[in-house]
């Protein structure tokens, strides 16, 4: 007998060789019906997996974990491949993994899939599900595996990359067999609701030098109603897509002549970004930050001293050789700020020293991963480094957290969590190898967060290479977790750069560095804001705050007077004096998400008033111009 420790901490004893599915049945028949896979000692396993020794076991369902969902979706990807095989007998199969939201499969077919093809594939998938075909797992040695896949070149390529002597697993369902490690469900009938979402071209292995395959994306759920809910979320996400809104509101643009991942801010977007930059810099100045400018280039030696070269050189742009130097576009700013601190000797009385910068950084992102403002190759960071004495860590870290909370209150952010990001102790390549330093930094950061009363959860493997950090995970309007603010504790870089200050005892001491970014990168922050607001920015951030709409030419002089008065007090105002009907002008201003429209007719000119329409409230009515100026002056800034 072997002992199985379940997720709730209880133990059951079973015969050696008992499968996960059999354990699920012992727990409850309901769990067995819903089970999709098991987690054995942290690893996802097939329901057919035979338990051979004492272990921890969690039986997963679609709703219990991402692993449970992925087993469900991976099974459905095989059903889709089987359907394609039935409809396109000459198809060559590539890969069909589960992803964060559903699954895809890549096929080598003669021509791209049409809408009619996708409709037929979905119908065939439903037939396969109704047939309730048994899904069987089996294994073969390498040479037999190659023979089985002799008509499938992509599968053969994958098999040939596996080491000699390895036993290779397959899954078979009726007339379809696929190379696969699993896990999978036991029958096709376990899948209840499916929907093909889209198709596109995809290079084999993401390499543009390889053949273009046809990829089909799809989703599946245990209930049909979940498909409808998911499609509604997709439509909401489409409506909030910052690339779509950015084009409609003329916020930013991209061009292949400039390059992938290099967006250009148009006047409207530049206005929003300028306001964000001023906003955060003003807050930082109030808190004693000193802002600097440092170059976007540096000698590679700088990053070798900092340690970034060993950990990040693959994410940097290629080195440029100039005279006797090797220069690289910088991926981060901390090494520059270390040198600014080191520019002169400091006393313990000088600390903390807070150095801030709106700094341009460059990352060598793959062209397939760049996306609008969300993922770019050049970014502007709201960066800062605090050089503190050990006895100042708690107070200064607490001030950073308070600044984060104040900023989130200004923007109305309510759904967010604090994540303590720790290293993976077993990954000696990703993280600087100094156990003592890591233990000190992680325990100190954990203690600080507990003392200042911040609720947090821990995430192993998410730290920076030089130290643990506090990440703030914002929940977006479409349900995504987005990391915006971050604050990191660093004992390593002060040591590598030999940073010092003269202590009260007259001796030299090492400062500690706190890395922090409140808005993260302005590019990603703007992406988040655009999708949160659907482009309807709050009044203080709106590129155009007021549009003046005269009804006829007779009101142009008064309208111009109103424009000048608003402009003089700092309101961003546009006079729309085109020869168009006022209804057309109003509709256009609404599409542009302008917070206020002032309609001016003969009566308004005579009475020195304006007819106010609000984006949020609709018709407010006719009021005196001075009253409107007082109203907007109160609300135009945070």
List the one residue out of 391, 491, 385 whose CA is nearest residue 435: 491
DSSP 555: G
Active site includes 152? no
Active-site residue, selected from the candidate residues 70, 86, 377, 385 = 385
Active site includes 469? yes
The pairing of beta strand 416-422 with beta strand 456-460? parallel
Q: Is the dihedral of CA 188, 194, 199, 201 positive or negative?
A: negative
Active site includes 381? yes
H or E element at residue 215:
strand 212-221
pLDDT recorded at residue 167: 83
Active-site residue, selected from the candidate residues 377, 399, 469, 593 = 469
Whether the link from the prior residue into 565 is cis, omega within 30° of 0, is: no
Average pLDDT, the chain: 91
- Sequence-distant (6+) residues with CB within 8 A of 300 are 309, 319, 326, 327, 328
What architecture (CATH level 2) is domain 69-240? 2-Layer Sandwich (3.30)
Tell me: pLDDT of 638 over 60.
no
| CATH 3.30.980.10-classified regions of the chain | 69-240
Superfamily of domain 546-635: Anticodon-binding domain (3.40.50.800)
Active site includes 26? no
Q: What is the pTM of this model?
A: 0.80
Is 20:51 a contact under the CB 8 Å cutoff?
yes
Distance CA 269, CA 627 (A): 30
Question: For residue 434, how many C-alpha atoms fall within 13 Å in the half-sphere facing its CB?
Answer: 16
Quote the tokens at residue 111. 């021509």
Rg of the chain, C-alpha, whole Å: 30
Mean pLDDT of 2-20: 88
Active-site residue, selected from the candidate residues 86, 240, 243, 515 = 515
Mean pLDDT of 600-626: 92
Mean pLDDT of 121-148: 94
Ordered alpha helix ranges (H), 132-254: 142-148, 153-160, 224-240, 242-248
Check residues 549 and 443 and name the one with the higher pLDDT: 549
Mean pLDDT of 458-484: 79
Mean pLDDT of 441-445: 80
Active-site residue, selected from the candidate residues 108, 117, 178, 383 = 383
pLDDT recorded at residue 105: 96
Whether the link from the prior residue into 203 is cis, omega within 30° of 0, is: no
Superfamily of domain 264-533: Bira Bifunctional Protein; Domain 2 (3.30.930.10)
Measured CA angle at 336 (ends 330, 338), to 5 deg = 140
Distance CA 57, CA 20 (A): 8
pLDDT interval class at 461 (50, 70, 90): confident
Ordered alpha helix ranges (H), 241-316: 242-248, 267-286, 300-306, 308-312
Tell me: pLDDT of 428 over 70.
no
Active site includes 547? no
Distance CA 364, CA 330 (A): 10
List, for residues 66-82, the tens digit of each pLDDT value.
999 999 999 999 999 99
Active-site residue, selected from the candidate residues 69, 354, 363, 399 = 363
Give percent of the chain above pLDDT 70: 97
Tell me: pLDDT of 272 over 80.
yes
Mean pLDDT of 362-382: 88
Percentages helix, strand, coil for the chain (3-state, rounded to 5) are 40, 30, 35
**Residue 93 CA: distances (Å) to CA of 152, 158, 179, 446:** 7, 11, 10, 49
pLDDT recorded at residue 206: 82
Active site includes 383? yes
The CATH class, in words, for 2-61 is alpha beta
Tell me: pLDDT of 346 over 80.
yes
pLDDT recorded at residue 417: 86
pLDDT recorded at residue 38: 92
Distance CA 429, CA 158 (A): 26
Distance CA 180, CA 74 (A): 10
Distance CA 267, CA 544 (A): 11
List the one residue out of 204, 584, 462, 465 whose CA is nearest residue 473: 462
pLDDT recorded at residue 451: 82
Active-site residue, selected from the candidate residues 37, 334, 487, 527 = 334
Mean pLDDT of 395-419: 90
Active-site residue, selected from the candidate residues 82, 173, 381, 545 = 381
pLDDT recorded at residue 636: 53
List, for residues 234-248, the tens digit of each pLDDT value.
888 889 999 999 999
Measured CA angle at 189 (ends 188, 193), to 5 deg = 100
Quote the tokens at residue 486. 């971050």
Which of 206-220, 359-373, 462-476 shows the lowest mean pLDDT across its residues?
A: 462-476
Tell me: pLDDT of 113 over 90.
yes
Active site includes 385? yes
- Sequence-distant (6+) residues with CB within 8 A of 366 are 206
Mean pLDDT of 408-426: 84
List, for residues 274-297, the tens digit of each pLDDT value.
999 999 999 999 999 999 999 999
- Sequence-distant (6+) residues with CB within 8 A of 137 are 46, 48, 169, 170, 171, 172, 182, 184
| CATH 3.30.930.10-classified regions of the chain | 264-533
| CATH 3.10.20.30-classified regions of the chain | 2-61
Find where tokens 């340690």 sit.
Answer: 307
pLDDT interval class at 591 (50, 70, 90): very high
């Amino acid at each position: 007998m072997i002992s199985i420790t379940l997720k709730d901490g209880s133990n059951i004893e079973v015969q050696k060789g008992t499968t996960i599915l059999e354990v699920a049945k012992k727990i409850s028949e309901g769990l067995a019906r819903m089970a999709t896979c098991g987690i054995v000692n942290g690893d996802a396993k097939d329901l057919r997996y035979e338990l051979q020794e004492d272990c921890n076991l969690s039986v997963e369902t679609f709703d219990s974990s991402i692993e449970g969902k992925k087993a469900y979706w991976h099974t459905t990807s095989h059903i889709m491949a089987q359907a394609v095989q039935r409809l396109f007998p000459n198809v060559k199969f590539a890969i069909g993994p589960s992803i964060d939201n559903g699954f895809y499969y890549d096929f080598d077919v003669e021509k791209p899939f049409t809408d009619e093809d996708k409709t037929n594939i979905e119908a065939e998938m439903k037939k396969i599900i109704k047939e309730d075909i048994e899904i069987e797992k089996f294994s073969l040695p390498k040479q037999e595996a190659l023979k089985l896949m002799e008509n499938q070149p992509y599968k053969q390529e994958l098999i040939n990359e596996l080491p000699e002597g390895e036993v290779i697993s397959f899954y078979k369902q009726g007339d379809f067999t696929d190379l696969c490690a699993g896990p999978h469900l036991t029958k096709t009938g376990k899948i209840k609701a499916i929907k093909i979402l889209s198709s596109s071209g995809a290079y084999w292995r993401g390499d543009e030098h390889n053949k273009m395959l046809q990829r089909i994306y799809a989703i599946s759920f245990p209930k049909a109603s979940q498909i409808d809910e998911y499609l509604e979320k997709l439509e909401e996400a489409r409506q909030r897509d910052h690339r779509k809104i950015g084009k409609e509101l003329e916020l930013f643009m991209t061009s292949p002549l400039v390059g992938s991942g290099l967006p250009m801010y148009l006047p409207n977007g530049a206005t929003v970004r300028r306001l964000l930059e001023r906003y955060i810099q003003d807050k930082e100045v109030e808190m004693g930050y000193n802002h600097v400018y440092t170059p976007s280039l540096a000698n590679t030696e700088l990053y070798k001293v900092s340690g970034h070269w060993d950990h990040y050189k693959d994410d940097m742009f290629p080195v440029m050789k100039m005279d006797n130097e090797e220069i690289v576009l910088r991926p981060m700013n901390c090494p520059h700020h270390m040198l600014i601190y080191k520019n002169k000797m400091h006393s313990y009385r000088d600390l903390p020293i807070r150095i801030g910068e709106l700094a341009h950084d460059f990352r060598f992102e793959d062209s397939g991963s760049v996306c609008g403002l969300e993922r770019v190759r050049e970014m502007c960071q709201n960066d800062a480094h605090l050089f503190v004495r050990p006895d100042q860590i708690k107070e200064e870290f607490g001030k950073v957290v308070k600044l984060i909370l104040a900023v989130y209150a200004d923007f109305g952010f309510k759904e967010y969590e604090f994540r303590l990001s720790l290293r993976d102790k077993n990954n000696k390549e990703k993280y600087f190898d100094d156990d003592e330093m890591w233990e000190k930094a992680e325990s100190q950061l954990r203690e600080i967060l507990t003392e200042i009363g911040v609720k947090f959860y821990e995430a192993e493997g998410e730290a920076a290479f030089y130290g643990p950090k506090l990440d703030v995970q914002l929940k977006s309007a479409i349900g995504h977790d987005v990391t915006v603010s971050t604050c990191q504790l660093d004992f390593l870089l002060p040591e590598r750069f030999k940073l010092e200050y003269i202590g009260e005892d007259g001796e030299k001491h090492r400062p500690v560095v706190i890395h922090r970014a409140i808005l993260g990168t302005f590019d990603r922050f703007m992406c988040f804001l655009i999708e949160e607001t659907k482009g309807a920015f709050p009044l203080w951030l709106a590129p155009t705050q007021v549009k003046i709409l005269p009804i006829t030419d007779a009101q142009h002089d008064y309208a111009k007077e109103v424009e000048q008065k608003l402009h003089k007090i700092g309101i961003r105002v546009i006079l729309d004096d085109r020869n168009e009907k006022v209804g057309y002008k109003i509709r256009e201003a609404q599409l542009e998400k302008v917070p206020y429209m002032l309609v001016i007719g003969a009566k308004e000119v005579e009475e020195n008033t304006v007819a106010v329409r609000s984006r949020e409230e609709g018709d407010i009515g006719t009021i005196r111009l001075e009253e409107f100026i007082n109203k907007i002056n109160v609300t135009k800034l945070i």
